[in-house]
């Protein structure tokens, strides 16, 4: 509506200025024309009077002629007629209303017409017709006509012009306001609403304004933009879905690779309970066992079977590919599950796996499978980095005295930490800078893909955290995983 008001006021201001200028010049032209008409009438009257006064002056003398002029005032209501002398000693009653200097043309026997003002502020049109008396002295008939009628006419014209201008402005406001609302305001409201919908991400609604004007062209442009944004969003969504699917496949592949590394240790771990089960089964089959020994052997078989079932369940749970789903996770529980999975592999490499849990629970909001994959990868790397015996320590704790990297927006958040610390061969600074690059690996061919740490880094970033690395050659490495802790009073 503001655009309509601005256009309306601009147009009406132009119209008002043009009409006012036209009225002003028209009034001035009519004023001049009225002045000329009044002057012409005065000349006609003066010519008639001069002829009569000349005849009377010649036949009956000065006094009769001047008396005639005095009587003539009774016949002309709007015009005052009097005799004036323009040379010699002149009594006050016969002096002209204007200085003699302005009446020089009378000496050439030319009629003079001019405007003059009175002491009370009124204007008069003075007409002087020269007359040479019989004794050769120059006088003049002065006709004085008030300009009040002309001023009244001018004032009335100004008043009518002001009324017309005011009426034009009011009617123009109403008319242009109505047209502006139909032609400008309503379409612009639709276009603004469409732009706001596009700004909020709603690309489902289209607006097509009919016509061939600028607003219709703007509507078509916005509609083309909406269509292009919708196509771009759809293409981006497809690309994102493909990227997520490819990333999930990559993560699943890495899980299977990790699972392959666990297999040897798990196979050895399953061998012991299988031997126990086999031996106890043979004992039960042999004759002469007491009932209580049979019962005890059956219980041992059940315990070992349950142990094997739990190991297989953990392996299947880790190997299974499922949708990423964040939920309440206790980091201490994650560490304990890692310990049961990796203890056989650690013993096979002569490595002691230590768990240092926080005294209190450490809840986070995360995908447990992805979190388990990260810690398994880091722990396996630590086990493989130790060649002559040592230990790998998994610890969890809460920390607040930490400076997040630049890509973390919320610097005041509380953090929980999972640490994987090994006593392996360590890494130099150049290697540390590259360990999260895809396909970079320090392992021998066939022992790693070079994707584990890159995938782990991406998973932790998706959870709003980061991985910090400290490593010294021949002294070991420490990987610290920082995850955002839930606000006080809330549980993940």
The string of pLDDT tens digits covering residues 19-78 is: 778 878 887 887 778 777 777 888 888 888 888 888 888 888 888 888 888 887 776 666
Mean pLDDT of the chain, nearest integer? 78
Look at the alpha carbons of 99, 102, 106, 108 in this order and tell me if their dihedral is positive or negative. Answer: positive
Question: Can you tell me whether residue 35 is helix, strand or coil?
Answer: helix
Q: Which of 33, 19, 17 is nearest to 160 (CA)?
A: 19
Give the dihedral of Cα atoms 427, 430, 431, 436; nearest 10 deg. Answer: 130
Pairing outcome for strands 390-399 and 351-356: parallel
- What pLDDT score was predicted for residue 314? 56
End-to-end CA distance of the chain: 51
pTM: 0.44
Most confidently predicted of 324-328, 371-375, 466-470: 466-470
CATH number for the domain formed by residue range(s) 236-322: 1.10.287.130
Secondary structure class of 75 (helix, strand, coil):
coil
Which candidate, 316, 192, 202, places its Cα nearest to that of 259?
316
In order of 89, 376, 465, the CA distances from 421 in angstroms are 135, 13, 19
Distance, in Å, from the CA atom of 370 to the CA atom of 236, rounded to the nearest integer, reads 25
pLDDT of residue 478: 93
Indicate the domain borders of the chain.
Answer: 2-155, 236-322, 323-492
Q: Which of 69-83, 156-170, 308-322 comes out lowest in average pLDDT? A: 308-322
pLDDT score for 95: 86
Distance CA 159, CA 453 (A): 91
Interatomic CA distance for residues 45 and 215, integer angstroms? 69
What are the residues whose beta carbons fall under 8 Å from the beta carbon of 159, sequence distance 6 or more? Answer: none
Weakest-pLDDT range from 13-27, 144-158, 232-246, 300-314: 300-314
If pLDDT is split at 50, 70 and 90, which confidence band does 433 have? Answer: confident
Query: For the domain with range 2-155, which CATH number is right: 3.30.450.20, 1.10.3430.10, 1.10.287.110, 1.10.3720.10?
Result: 3.30.450.20
Q: Do domains 236-322 and 323-492 have the same CATH topology?
A: no
Q: On the CB side of 237, how many CA atoms lie within 13 Å of its CA?
A: 6
Q: How far apart are CA 130 and CA 343, in angstroms?
A: 141
Does the CA dihedral 58-60-62-68 come out positive or negative? negative
SS3 assignment, position 97: coil
Which of 370 and 352 is assigned the larger pLDDT?
A: 352
Query: Does the pLDDT at position 463 exceed 90?
Result: no
Six-digit token pair at 173? 């406001």
pLDDT at 147: 77
The CATH class given to the 323-492 domain equals alpha beta
d(CA 354, CA 122): 119
List the structure tokens of 206: 């289209």
How many CB atoms within 10 Å of residue 58?
11
Res. 272: pLDDT tops 80: no
């Amino acid at each position: 509506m503001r655009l309509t008001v601005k256009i309306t006021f601009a147009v009406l201001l132009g119209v008002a200025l043009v009409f006012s200028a036209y009225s002003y010049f028209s009034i001035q032209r009519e004023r001049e024309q009225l002045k000329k008409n009044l002057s012409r009438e005065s000349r006609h009257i003066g010519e008639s009077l001069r002829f009569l006064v000349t005849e009377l002056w010649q036949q009956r003398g000065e006094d009769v002629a001047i008396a005639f002029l005095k009587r003539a005032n009774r016949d002309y209501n709007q015009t005052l007629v009097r005799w004036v002398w323009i040379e010699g000693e002149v009594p006050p009653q016969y002096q002209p209303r204007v200085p003699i200097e302005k009446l020089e043309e009378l000496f050439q026997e030319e009629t003079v017409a001019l405007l003059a003002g009175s002491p009370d502020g009124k204007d008069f049109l003075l007409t002087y017709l020269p007359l040479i008396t019989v004794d050769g002295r120059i006088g003049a008939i002065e006709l004085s006509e008030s300009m009040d009628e002309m001023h009244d006419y001018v004032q009335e014209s100004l008043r009518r012009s002001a009324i017309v201008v005011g009426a034009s402005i009011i009617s123009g406001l109403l008319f242009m306001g109505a047209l502006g609302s139909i032609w400008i305001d309503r379409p612009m409201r639709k276009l603004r609403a469409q732009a706001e919908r596009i700004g909020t991400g709603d690309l489902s609604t289209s607006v097509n304004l009919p016509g061939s004007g600028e607003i219709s062209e703007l509507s078509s442009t916005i509609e083309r933009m909406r269509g292009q944004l919708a196509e771009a969003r759809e293409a981006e969504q497809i690309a994102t879905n493909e990227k997520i699917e490819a990333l999930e496949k990559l993560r699943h592949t890495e899980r299977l690779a990790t699972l392959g590394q666990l297999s040897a240790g798990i196979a050895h771990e399953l061998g012991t309970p299988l031997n126990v089960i086999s031996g106890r089964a043979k004992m039960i089959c042999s004759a002469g066992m007491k009932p209580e020994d049979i019962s005890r052997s059956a219980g041992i078989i059940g315990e070992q079977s349950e142990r094997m079932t739990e190991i297989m369940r953990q392996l299947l749970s880790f190997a299974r590919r499922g949708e990423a789903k964040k939920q309440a996770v206790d980091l201490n529980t994650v560490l304990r599950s890692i310990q049961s999975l990796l203890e056989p592999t650690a013993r096979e490499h002569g490595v002691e796996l230590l768990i240092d849990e926080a005294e209190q629970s450490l809840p986070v909001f995360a995908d447990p499978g992805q979190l388990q994959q990260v810690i398994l990868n880091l722990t396996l790397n630590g086990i493989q980095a130790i060649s002559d015996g040592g230990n790998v320590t998994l610890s969890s704790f809460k920390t607040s005295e930490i400076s997040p990297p630049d890509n973390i927006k919320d610097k005041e958040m509380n953090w929980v930490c999972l640490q994987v610390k090994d006593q392996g061969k360590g890494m130099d600074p150049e290697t540390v800078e590259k360990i999260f690059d895809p396909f970079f690996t320090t392992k021998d061919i066939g022992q790693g893909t070079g994707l584990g740490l890159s995938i782990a880094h991406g998973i932790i970033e998706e959870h709003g955290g980061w991985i910090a690395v400290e490593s010294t050659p021949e002294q070991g490495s420490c990987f610290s995983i920082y995850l955002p802790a839930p606000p006080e009073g809330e549980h993940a």
